Amino acid sequence: MLRIILPFIIVVCGLWAWSLAAGPWSVYEQSLLLSGWLSIALMSLVMILAQRPAWLERPLGGMDQMYRSHKWAGILAVVFAAAHWLIEMGDDLIESMFGAADKRHDPDYSGFIDAMRDVAEDIGEFSVYLLFAMLLITLWRQFPYKYWRYIHRGMPALYLLLAFHAAWLAPLQWWQQPIGLLLAILLLGGSIASGLSLAGRVGRRHQVQGSISAINTLGKGVTEVVCTLGMAWPGHRAGQFAFVTFNTLEGAHPFTIASADRGNGEVTFLIKSLGDFTHHLSNKISVGQTVTVEGPYGCFDFGRRNRKAQQIWIAGGIGVTPFLAWLEAIGRSTETAPQADLHYCTRNADQDPMAERLRALCRGFPSIQLQIHDSSQGDTLSAAKLTTGADSATRTEVWFCGPTGLGRALEQGLRAVPLRLLRFHKEAFQFR
């Protein structure tokens, strides 16, 4: 997330600071402009990232990381919008305390421009209120996703209102400086992205129509869905994910592809009951039903591993899906299986069909040491267990997919011990 947002904010603030050379303003005026500038710049970034630009995956660490940045850029944009609104509301208070002697006055504009600036101010205030409401609904986790997604689809229209506000109220001298060039690029990019979103064209180039060829209930709350997409499917790397639409009213959901690419356009998803739509999923879909799959996305690709580092692979619950695809891909490859320790965390190994599937896949690979941690037997995975007997001089690379809390605890624990942790790869699937 920081690799996108922090450099972006630094550039935005740097060009704002450059613009100050054109004429010093009061602290109030500078704060008002900076907060508004940061808000619309981050909002433009949000709209651009929402288009799922696949060409940015590699440099930014995968589509999941891009969506995480999309989420936090949106939150920061609302925070700066709130600051902008509060500063604007404090105008009269500051004037009463310090007087209006140093207050900057807008240049005289023609009647049309002056009228448009008044309209832009009113639109901006109205839009900020809607922005606050949308953020609260987004952060309220109990609000049903199926309703939230329709509200969220109104975001592009709201952005266009904010872009109108920013374009008309930006200082005239900005348009003659680098900050004006960046503002124009961001507003244009954000507006085009908003138009594409409103037209329903997000990810359209990567969508493939197919059908469901098999549905299997593997265990309590876990459904295996096999989709046949034909030769239109471009193929995928083991560990990638896709957005799957079973029902147009419900919309697309991200699921990791649980199978290696077989070259026949067939993909398998293991879907756990975690929400309204996925609850009793097998009763809501049927064999032969049309399905839309958009992808593949993601960089959770074992081919990107550091071949000189010790490999630790950790799966928790349904997070086992990319590792199932990895193991299948290794079996189909002529390449020698890597040396790796594979840890699978489950609540009850005896009732977990994934535990036996992992055992079966790992039997053919002596170099991959499988350890199943059954919490019902008091066996939970910790950083201490991972480092027991480990050589602190050996570089270690960890690949994790599972519950957020477990991943955070393991990463913090590993960084606190004398282990040469080269990198901790993890998926970030909490898109909302």
Domain assignment present for 187: yes
Q: What is the pLDDT of residue 108?
A: 58
149 and 29 assigned to the same domain: yes
Average pLDDT of the segment spanning 134-158 = 83
List, for residues 222-261, the tens digit of each pLDDT value. Answer: 899 999 999 999 999 999 999 999 988 778 889 999 999 9
Strands (E), 232-297: 241-245, 253-256, 266-272, 290-297
Q: What band does 25 get if pLDDT is binned at 50, 70 and 90? A: very low
Domain that holds residue 33: 2-198
Place of tokens 């959770």: 300
Are 112 and 156 in a shared domain? Answer: yes
Q: Which residues of 14-52 are buried (b: 16+ CB within 10 A; e: fewer)?
A: ebbeebeeeeebeebbbbbbbbbbbbbbbbbbbbbbbbb
Q: Is residue 431 in some structural domain?
A: no
> Does 247 share its domain with 286?
yes
Whether 147 and 133 share a structural domain: yes
Percentage of the chain with pLDDT > 90?
Answer: 38
Q: Do residues 125 and 220 share a domain?
A: no
Report the CATH number that the domain containing residue 250 is assigned in CATH: 2.40.30.10
pLDDT band at 18 (very low <50, low <70, confident <90, very high): low
- Same-domain status, 178 and 33: yes
* Residue 76 shares a structural domain with residue 187: yes
Domain boundary pick from 198, 223, 249: 198
Span 166-181, average pLDDT: 90
- How many domains does one find in the chain? 3
pLDDT above 60 (res 287): yes
Residue 57 in contact with residue 66, Cβ under 8 Å? yes
pTM of this prediction? 0.82
What is the C-alpha to C-alpha distance for residues 308 and 102, in angstroms, rounded to an integer?
A: 63
Count the Cβ atoms, other than its own, within 10 Å of residue 105. Answer: 6
Mean pLDDT of 370-394: 82
Residue 274 lies in a domain: yes
- Are both 58 and 188 inside the same structural domain? yes
Co-location of 17 and 152 in the same domain:
yes
Per-residue model confidence as pLDDT tens digits over 297-315: 988 887 777 778 889 999 9
Asked if 193 contacts 47 with a C-beta cutoff of 8 angstroms, the reply is yes
What's the rounded Cα separation, in Å, for the pair 320 and 324?
6
* 309 part of a folded domain: yes
Q: Among 297, 328, 354, which residue terminates a domain?
A: 297
Q: Which tokens go with 66?
A: 């891009």
Asked whether residue 410 falls in the same domain as residue 265, the answer is no
Listed in sequence order, the residues at least 6 apart from 270 whose beta carbon sits closer than 8 Å to its beta carbon are 218, 222, 223, 224, 255, 256, 258, 318, 320, 321, 324, 354
Q: Is residue 98 part of a domain?
A: yes
Strands annotated E in 163-265: 207-219, 222-228, 241-245, 253-256
Q: Is residue 432 part of a domain?
A: no
Same domain, 79 and 141: yes
Residues 209 and 290 in one domain: yes
Within a domain: 223: yes
Q: What is the pLDDT of residues 222-232, one digit of tens each?
A: 899 999 999 99
User: What confidence score (pLDDT) does residue 21 get?
Assistant: 47
Task: Establish if 60 belongs to a structural domain.
Answer: yes
Asked if residue 251 lies in contact with residue 144, where contact means CB atoms within 8 angstroms, the answer is no
From 249, 271, 297, the end of a domain falls on 297
